[in-house]
Amino acid sequence: MLGRLSLSIKYSLIFIITGVLIAAAMLVSLYYFKSEVLRNEAQAVAAQVVSFRSWVAKSGMVWVDNLSTDFHDFLSKREDAAGNFYFGKNPALATRELSEIANKSAIRATFRVTSDEYRQPLNAPDDFESRAITAFKNDDGQRYYEDYETDTYRYAQPVYVKQSCLKCHGDPEDAPKEVIEKYGADKAFGYKVGDVRGIISVKLPDLKLMDLIHNLANPITIGLILAAFLINLAYTQWGLIRRLRNLTNGAEAMSQGNLDADLPFNDPQKSRDEVDHLGGAISLLRNSLKVAMRHMNK
Ligand code: HEC
């Protein structure tokens, strides 16, 4: 029978249930928080990729006079009057090479740019990336696409076709001959401004809920929870239970004939506290008892 347990036990039970409910609420919040943190991190990486591409695109191409052995790919080749060669890297190619370097040294985030119509076999999309591309093509308003794979968070955001892209992704007739020579005239052409050309795809190690919970085990959080517990305990013990016990003792003493027993309470007229009102009621009872006794004694 729960109803017959002491107030301190009842209150402790309620405190524990409250604690469990708050912990559950915190876990759910942590889960949302985790997704938010991962998404923010992925978006920061994607923003860097966008900036880099746009820097290369604004320059048209980056020209290098020395092809490193790891990065020997190029789109165009130029010779100056002195017979020196320069190799042009277009934005997509430069981004692919950047991503190779970045992904090798990556502690957390890796990224790449991919498309359903890829010119470069190394850019072929995987299953998640294909789903993301389809999602963006079906819904103009969708800003990002995300999913979890074993221990990995996956994020994608669309890359749209702009006017400047049409030179190499519009009509093959307009395309620089190097593009046709290298990739042919049937790959990744025929786009219009606003089309989804591809995606920036970011991979991050998933944040474990356990690791986040670990962060809660710091002295400040534990101290605050302990303080909450002690305040509750102190209030029930001294603010409630002890005062009720005092009134009980007083009433018991009265029942045994000590009509002047100590009844500690504040004036009920000036207090809204229910224990004070109980004290006031017992005190009224005591006055009636005294009057009755006086009558009987006469
Ligand atoms: C100078 C020609 C040129 C222009 C301009 C150009 N691209 Fe490309 N694009 C290419 C080439 C060449 C590739 C293949 C690169 C590689 O080998 O990784 C490519 C690849 C891509 C890819 C990767 C998928 C694939 O086909 O392998 C995306 C996405 C892409 N381009 C988007 C764009 C967008 C968006 C613009 C405009 C902002 C643009 N491109 C402008 C030539 C161009």
Q: Enter the tokens of residue 94.
A: 């430069």
Q: Is 48 exposed, middle or buried (0-12, 13-18, 19+ CB in 10 A)?
A: middle
For residue range 22-31, list pLDDT tens digits in order. 989 988 998 8
Phi, psi of 252 (to 5 degrees): -65, -45
In the chain, the percentage of residues whose pLDDT exceeds 90 is: 74
**Do residues 189 and 165 make contact, with C-beta atoms less than 8 angstroms apart?**
no
Q: Which atom of ligand 1 is nearest to the CA of 73?
A: 17
Tokens of 53: 């591409």
Nearest Cα neighbor of 76 from 68, 105, 85, 247 is 85
CB 57 within 8 A of CB 92: no
In whole angstroms, what is the distance from residue 132 CA to residue 127 CA? 9
C-beta of 156 in contact with ligand 1 (< 6 A): no
pLDDT in tens, 124-180: 999 999 999 999 999 999 999 999 999 999 999 999 999 989 989 999 998 989 999
Alpha-carbon distance of 161 to 169, in angstroms, equals: 8
What tens digit of pLDDT does each residue of 235-290 get?
999 999 999 999 999 999 999 989 899 999 999 999 999 999 999 999 999 999 99
pLDDT at 236: 92
Which residue has 């190394």 as its token pair? 122
151 closest CA partner among 214, 203, 99: 203
Regarding the beta carbon of 133 and ligand 1, being less than 6 Å apart is answered no
Average pLDDT over residues 5-11: 89
Position 1 pLDDT exceeds 80: no
Q: Look at the block and give the residue holding tokens 């089309």.
A: 195
| Ligand 1 centroid distance, CA of 70 (Å) | 20
Verify whether ligand 1 is closer than 6 Å to residue 197 (CB atom). yes
Q: Is the CB of 202 under 6 A from ligand 1?
A: no
Euclidean distance between the first and the last CA atom of the chain, given in angstroms as a whole number: 48
Amino acid found at 193: V
Q: Which of 197, 208, 203, 128 is nearest to 164 (CA)?
A: 197
Q: Is the minimum distance from the CB of 100 to ligand 1 under 6 angstroms? A: no
Nearest-atom index, ligand 1, CA of 53: 38
Report pLDDT for 107: 83
The number of the ligand 1 atom at minimal distance from the alpha carbon of 197 is: 29
Residue 60 C-alpha from the chain's centroid: 38
Return the number of other C-beta atoms located less than 10 Å from residue 24's C-beta: 10
User: Which two tokens mark 258?
Assistant: 């000590």
**What value, to the nearest 5°, has the Cα angle with vertex 83 and ends 79 and 89?**
30
The dihedral through the CA atoms of 105, 110, 113, 117 has a sign that is: positive
Q: Given this model, what pLDDT does residue 152 score?
A: 96
Model confidence over 77-123: pLDDT tens digits?
Answer: 999 999 999 999 999 999 999 999 999 988 889 999 999 999 999 89
CA distance 213 to 227: 20
Q: Which residues of 254-282 are buried (b: 16+ CB within 10 A; e: fewer)?
A: beeeeeebebebeebeeeeeebbebbbeb
Look at the alpha carbons of 164, 169, 171, 172 in this order and tell me if their dihedral is positive or negative: positive
